[in-house]
Each structure stands twice: as C-alpha cells, then as structure tokens.
Structure 1
Amino acid sequence: MDVILIKLGISALLGLIIGLERELKRKPVGLKTSLVISISSCLLTIVSIESAQAFSEISGRTQMDPMRLAAQIVSGIGFLGAGVILRRSNDVISGLTTAAMIWGASGLGIAVGAGFYLEAGAGALMMLISVELIPMLMKRLGPKALSEKEVRVRLHVADDADMTAIVKSIKEKEVKIYNVRVKDLESASSKMELMLGVYEKRYTTDVYYEIKSIPGVQKVEIETL
C-alpha cells in the first residue's frame, strides 16, 4: 500500500509540473486536468499490473498482459486531446501543443505506475525543455522566421485608393505578407484582410500606427495570433 501511495504521489507531482506550465500560459487544459490525467493513468496502470499478478497467483494458469489496460489509456487520452484542438478562422490551428501535453501527462502516469520513476522524471524534464527552453533558443539562434509572430490585419480602404500601393507600403514596414484577401463592401470602401509576419519583440501597436498612416486606409483592426 505504501508503494502505491508513493507512486500516486510522484505521478501527482509530475502532473502538477506539466499542468503548471500550461496554466501559466493560460491554456485550456491546466493544473487540475493534468493532475487528474496523470494520477488516474498511474492508478489504472497499478490496477492493471496488480490484477494480472493476483489472477495469475489464484489460478496458477491465467496469463494476462499487465500493460493491457495501460495501452487503452493512450488511445482514450487521444479523444480528450482532440477536444482542445481548435480550428480558427483563416485555417489557423491551435491547441496542438496542449493536446500533446495531455498525452504526455498520461504517459508519465503510466511510467510511474509501472515503477519507472527515473524514466518518468527524465521524461517530464525533457517535455518542459522541449516546450520552454528549446523554442527560446531557436528564436535566438535559429532561422529568422522562428522569431516572428503572426498578425492578422483588417483594413477598410476607400474605393479610389490603390490597394496594390497599400500592399507595397505595408511591405516597406519591415513585415512579411503571407496572405491577402480583398472583399467589396456595400459602402464606398473595400475590405482587406492580411496575414503578416512581424518580429516577435515588435509592439503590435507600432504596426497598427504605421499601417493606419498609409494614404487610403480608413480603418484598421489588428490582432496578434
């Protein structure tokens, strides 16, 4: 019984670490969810192993795979992870990292439940390094594109304005244009939607003021993704 409590305690600690990282980033799956996933995965793994041993001792002939139940946990967690993956407008997908962290939390619980404490601890550490430290290093030392953030801009431009000239002016503001969408409005204006790549440390408000100052631009709406 003491060993089981130790396993559950270690599993809760690792789940707490993973959940805290998500919670600090204000992601949909946070502290409580990660704790429940890690602890329950650990518990089900312990039950699976203990049941296999108990039934084998009773009958003397029964052969069971002690990790059979744990294998179903991995599949089941996939449905939970799918719930946090969202498809936003303009085909932007979000929530993939959170879904992967959910799956990872269940893996940590299974590892602890099976008695692989060192491996579980190393796995949790490597997961945190993967989502925190490595992206930071890649933004500083890697290709320039990794240090960019995506910004969606919606513009209302006058009918007599040259939209090609507006696009060229935006390009001169040290941004990359990934996508352009133009729509006619009932009023005497048109609507442009642009997906921009902007240096991560650059203030979104600076981009707003620079675009708003372009001749022909009537209204500006900007959003950082």
Structure 2
Amino acid sequence: METVTAAVEYLEGINLASITMRIVMSMVCGGVIGIERGKAHQPAGMRTYMLVCMGAAMVMLTGQYMYYHFQTGDPARLGAQVVSGIGFLGAGSIIISGKTKIKGLTTAAGLWTAACIGLSIGIGFYEAGIIATLAVSLTMTQLKKLEYHLIFDDVWLSVYVELDDAVKMTDLVREFSPAGLVIGEVQIEKKRKGFQKAVISLKNTEHKSREAVLQFLEGVEGIQFVKYTA
C-alpha cells in the first residue's frame, strides 16, 4: 500500500515519468473519443481530438512546472484560457446545412470536453480524466442509439453514402422525391474508380422513422452503402 501511495505521489510531481505518462494518457483519451467522431465522418476526428487533449495537458504541465520551479504563475488561470479559447475549434466544426439543420454540435462539445480532460490529466488528476473519457465515449456511442429511438421523426437527417460512379445527384433527387426525402446539401468526400463517397443532408418531409429512411436508401439503385453520420 505504501508503495502504491509513493508511486502516486511521484506521478503527481514534475519528473520525466509523470510528464511522459500525462502526455501519452492525454493522447490516448483524446484518441478514444475522436475515433467515434471519425467513424461518423465528422470534420474533427481522432488526430484532432488527440492534439486538443494533449495540448491542454501541456498547458497544465507548464503551469505546474512554473509554479514549482519559479514560485510564480497560476495553473488555474492557464487552464481557464484553454477552456474559453478552445471555442474557435468547436465553432469551426459546426456547419449549417440547408436552412435549418445545424451539424457538428456534438463534435464541438466533444472537443471542448477533450480539452477539459486534457487539463485534468495535465495537472495529475488521472482518475477524473479516465472516468470522463469513458463517460464521453459512452455518450457518443451507446446513448446515440437511445436518442435515435426517442427522436425518430427528425426533419433533417445526415447520411454518409457510397455511390456507383455513374450515379448523379439528379438521379437521386428523382428517386428520393416520391419517398418524401428532399436533398439539401451534398458534400462529395472522395471519388475513386468505380464509386464515390458523399455526405448528404436530407429533409424528411413525411417524418418517417430513421429505420424506415435507412431501409429505403439501402434499396435505392446505385447506393452501395449508407449510414447515418450523427
């Protein structure tokens, strides 16, 4: 027990082992959250989350270093600047598509939370950082399914599709219209030989359930793969 206590106290100080552990742990925690956002084809993915979390950890490490070695500085003030300053990244991930649909709010909130996790790890509050990472990961993955079940008549839906190379948007418009789906915004991600990738915003005018819309899209000729992005 004394050995564990001594090890914890050692890692709470500023030394090579604690610095390495905090940086690596912040990258891992940020990456865990970012993987889900990357799979959802959001603008901020694994590497972005890793960098945000690690950068925040570095701010707290620097503040702690200044306080211990120069008896000056305030780590809390440095952390406060990160919490407020991270907003520019969050704002950059929010996209308005169509006329009323706003995307990227979850990604923006995740970036802000990743920065907060980085601050906790950077100051040596490892337990909170790990628990918060698990909580955010659970929120973004498992609670998404619950949200879909409760909110089943979204007016605007965002889907990721892989299309045959010969398919044109005008063809999809003709296919979607009878089903009450109106194409709002289209973002072509990549074009490869034989198929193309895109993220499409759809207006669900008949308020069909997400399952019904997805089933319809899977049956449309020319669509090889489809899934919701958020």
TM-score (norm 2): 0.64
Tell me what 1:101 maps to.
Answer: 110
Structure 1 residue ranges, 4+ long, deviating more than 6 angstroms after superposition: 152-155
CA distance in 2, matches of 1:19, 1:138: 20
CA drift of 1:137 comes to 2.9
Q: Deviations over 1:6-25 (max 9, x none)?
A: 11111111011011111111
State whether residues 8 and 39 of structure 1, in contact with CA within 8 Å, keep that contact through their aligned partners in structure 2.
yes
Q: Of the candidates 31, 40, 46, which is equivalent to residue 61 of structure 2?
A: 46
Q: Deviations over 1:120-153 (max 9, x none)?
A: 111011111112212323444x4xxx13344699
> Quick check: 1:200 aligned with 2:215?
no
Letter in 2 for 1:127: V
What does 1:1-225 align with in structure 2 at a 5 Å threshold? 1-56=16-71, 62=72, 64-140=73-149, 142=150, 146-149=151-154, 150=156, 195-203=205-213, 206=216
Alpha-carbon distance change, 11 to 93 in structure 1, aligned in 2, over 3 angstroms: same
Letter in 2 for 1:76: G
Aligned with 2:130: secondary structure? Answer: helix
Q: Deviations over 1:43-82 (max 9, x none)?
A: 11100111022221xxxxx5x4222111101111011110
State whether residues 7 and 42 of structure 1, in contact with CA within 8 Å, keep that contact through their aligned partners in structure 2.
yes
Alpha-carbon distance change, 85 to 51 in structure 1, aligned in 2, over 3 angstroms: same
Tell me what 1:59 maps to.
Answer: none
Q: Deviations over 1:16-36 (max 9, x none)?
A: 101111111111000111111
State whether residues 90 and 108 of structure 2, in contact with CA within 8 Å, keep that contact through their aligned partners in structure 1.
yes
Alpha-carbon distance change, 32 to 200 in structure 1, aligned in 2, over 3 angstroms: same
Letter in 1 for 2:211: K
Aligned with 2:102: secondary structure? Answer: strand
- Rg (Cα) greater in structure: 1
State whether residues 22 and 30 of structure 1, in contact with CA within 8 Å, keep that contact through their aligned partners in structure 2.
yes
CA drift of 1:154 comes to 7.1
TM-score (norm 1): 0.65
Aligned with 1:67: secondary structure? Answer: helix
State whether residues 94 and 104 of structure 2, in contact with CA within 8 Å, keep that contact through their aligned partners in structure 1.
yes
CA distance in 2, matches of 1:132, 1:148: 20
**Identity fraction in percent:** 27
CA RMSD of aligned residues (A): 3.2
Structure 1 unmatched runs, 5+: 57-61, 156-169, 176-192, 210-223
The number of residues matched between the two structures is 170
CA distance in 1, matches of 2:55, 2:112: 13
Alpha-carbon distance change, 198 to 7 in structure 1, aligned in 2, over 3 angstroms: same
Letter in 2 for 1:197: H
CA drift of 1:195 comes to 3.0
Alpha-carbon distance change, 123 to 23 in structure 1, aligned in 2, over 3 angstroms: same
Aligned with 1:27: secondary structure? Answer: coil
